[in-house]
Structure 1
Amino acid sequence: MENDFEVYGTAPGQEASQSDFTHIGNVSRLAERHGFGGLLVFYEHGAPDPWGTASAILQQTTSLTPLIALQPYSLPPFTAAKFIHTLVSLYGRRVDINLITGGKEAELRQVGDSVDHDGRFERALEYMSVLRALLTTNERLDHEGKHYTFHGLRTHSCLPPEHYPRVFVPGSSEAGRRVARAIGDVALTHPEPLSQFADSFAKSRRGENRLGVRFGIIARETDAEAWDAAESLSVESRAGQIQARWRKNSESDHIRRMARVAEEGVLYDDVYWTGPYRNGRGYLPYLVGSYDRVADYARGYVTCGVRTILLGRMTTEQEFMHVGNVLSRLRGADNAALRGRV
């Protein structure tokens, strides 16, 4: 079904003053109230621990699913299995995994991770094969691989099938595509403008994984009001411009693709906006305009086969209400069968 899609938001992150238990709960309840299926929880050296944040989300909501960023270099697979099993046991709900293979290059250097781009995807594939085994059986595991070796490993972390995590695989390179096909439930990317996305990422992956895209939304009753609201993200700086140009040389395929899109234009189709990317204020494209205009454009991605939408960070009830107006139009406000899906 064309309208069979889900929406995840983004949990509070690096802002130390805004990542306390109460704030996480407030944002999580807003997301749940406005029909979001889950919240993406980042992994970065400067951010709160994603597993602790996920626990705070689960404790303060009734149905929201944390999408936990899992970086293989940061956590052995047997420890990840115990964390996942513990959260499911405590709260009786599923958690999902966003399998990170890259991340910030400075953070990779800090921990001495010298594995190259394709090698990190290879490691992630082996990592997930171990993690999957530990979550699907309580038998002893023997594993002899390139990156991990275990003899008689037993973690008692087997989960019932309904609580097994879905695995999101971000990236758009051929190495990422191989991993997504092998162990992923959702292939995730930051999308290009609609026509480019339809001819590239979506077309080449038709019939493979569930497609997911991540973007921000700035929407109001009118286009003019939306662009007024976007003004705070449009301020350019010399440092931001340098950072944006540097992204063209990133080893990440999707970051390079976004850098090319941003270099070639600020605004596409009167709604797809690269301003924050161009000035170093974010990694996401934004859809900007009236509720109807943004919903129509987002519907184009769904028509291309997108079934999972991840939205940028929101923290206030007003932001959730504006996005909720877009989502209600996107799903069809009178379609009661889809209510609660988005």
Structure 2
Amino acid sequence: MKRFTYAAASDVAAAVGWGGKGAFIAGGTNLLDLMKEGVARPEHVMDINALALHDIEPSESGGLMLGALARNAATAHHPLVQEQYPLLSVAILSGASPQIRNMATDGGNLLQRTRCYYFYDTGTPCNKRQPGSGCSAIGNLARQHAILGASTECIATHPSDMCVALAALDAVVHVESLGGRRSIPFLEFHRLPGDQPDVDNTLMPGELITHIELPPAPDFVEHCAYLKIRERASYAFALVSVAAALHIGDGGRIAEARIALGGVAHKPWRLPDVERLLHGKRPDRAAFSEAGSALIAGAQAQGSALGSNAFKIPMAQRAVVRALEMAMAKHTSLLPGRAKKGQAL
């Protein structure tokens, strides 16, 4: 690990006054791994754990404000989150392990970097780690990699479960810097790789996440589900995940729908135009299948013949259908499933 200087901020003004000359650290559950592997090499580290950003409180608009330093476990088990946004609670509890969730922060969850094995292997070329060096995943083992939104520069996926639910819930990210405060709609926070895969999000240099705002949601409490398909039942990143929520209106028809996919792209994958296809329709398998097909339109398999992720394309479509059916059945979760070779979802 490269030597670095360490300082602790006592308030937000001190943290942003630092100017982002290194890395902020809170739970450290991702940053320390990256530093140990030599992937992240900050010269300065600023500890922000003393900042007053741990609370979870109702917002002025009637939604919920999550402090960036609230721990993932505290968020998942918070009564207001469980009562008003059960989709988020279940998604958080589907990720990592209890020990990591006890340390990891909500703001840090948004900033975690891909778990692509080539990204973590400093002996291989990686455009995300070293721009212009090439992408070792393209044409090789790419079972965990993207089928949507990829580029010729990078096919990595975003690893978060929490972020998939936040995308479905239309969250807003509040940030602060020396230049002032601004709010970023969640769908605009993370970015696709394009020709700049080393840039994961739209934060400006020196900006600090202070809060994540959950707007007042339509009636998604009764009909929501988070489905995660992974290689094993414990502590594994998603091959495909789905956050699904439905608001059923008069006559039993769909008044509003939200669907976000994880494990398939460089960011949580949500297309509001696809959700609108469900408006006014009966919540049945035919409608759900149409939405699933539209959501993954244009998906492309990656990897070599022996290491391809082509299986993810039908898996994602079927996972959308299954998650929406779970939501209609008033299930908020499904015990994590293992994807077995040759098994249809």
TM-score of the aligned structures, taking structure 1 as reference length: 0.25
TM-score by length of 2: 0.25
Which structure has greater helix proportion?
A: 1
